[in-house]
Amino acid sequence: MARIFTDSGQIFITSVHNLDDYEALILKELNAPNDILVVNIGESPFSNFIPDASVGIDDAVNEICNILVKQEIIIDYFI
C-alpha cells in the first residue's frame, strides 16, 4: 500500500510501535532506492541505529513538519 501512495507522489506516514535496530535497517533496505525518513519521538529505543531525526513528544507534529520542509519533502506555503 505504501508503494502505491509514494509512487503517486504522495507522502506516506505511519507509526511503528517498538521498532528496533534490525527492523529499522530492514525497512531502509526494503525501500531502497527510495528514501525513508525515520523519526524517533521521545526516548530512543535504538542501540546502534541512528534515526534521521529525534523529536520531543510535546511538539512532535510541528517538529516533524519542520523536518519535512527542511528536507524539501513538502513545500512551505500558505493560502
What per-residue confidence (pLDDT) applies to 43? 87
C-alpha cell at 36: 525513508
Please state the pTM of the whole predicted model: 0.71
Helix (H), strand (E) at residue 65: helix 60-70
The predicted-structure confidence for 23-78, as pLDDT tens digits, reads as follows: 999 988 888 887 888 889 888 889 999 998 888 888 888 888 888 888 887 776 65
Q: Where are the beta strands (DSSP E) in 30-73?
A: 39-41, 53-55
Over the range 37-69, which residues count as b (16 or more CB within 10 Å of their CB) and which as e?
ebbbbeeeeeeebebebebeeeeeeebbeebbe
What per-residue confidence (pLDDT) applies to 24? 92
What per-residue confidence (pLDDT) applies to 6? 65
* Alpha-carbon span 78 to 29, nearest angstrom: 35
